[in-house]
Amino acid sequence: MSTFHATLGALVILITGPLHAATSEAESSNALDAYERGHYALAYALWARQADAGEAEAARLALQMYRYGPQLYGQAFVISSSQRQRWLHVASGALAGAERFATASH
């Protein structure tokens, strides 16, 4: 790879990084709003898309909705076994980070 292409790639990451974060935050907000309004299928769909993109908190929330869907929401949420495995992996990173934070703050 040429120096030009490497520099161009780094610039694209620098420029789109904040855009991705802003989009992710907006989508999280939309998912939470949908959830609070009782639009559970929409909330799940938004969190599922974020979970597929590697967002740990979204993965945790989507997994909870999947697990407790029929009991809490009156509907089952669809997930493939490979998707479930990826989300568990992503969500476990969030839980490990929370544990490290809790341990460090005591």
More confident residue, 57 or 4: 57
pTM over 0.75: no
Query: Quick check: 8 pLDDT over 50?
Result: no
Q: What is the pLDDT of residue 7?
A: 42
Q: pLDDT tens for residues 54-79?
A: 999 999 999 999 999 999 999 999 99
All residues at 6 or more sequence positions from 26 whose CB lies less than 8 Å from its CB, including other chains: none
Residue 17's pLDDT band (cuts 50, 70, 90): very low
Structure tokens at 49: 């898309």
Q: Which helix (H) or strand (E) holds 94?
A: helix 81-104
- DSSP secondary structure string, 24-83? HHHHHHHHHHHHHTT-HHHHHHHHHHHHHTT-HHHHHHHHHHHHHIIIIISSPPP--HHH
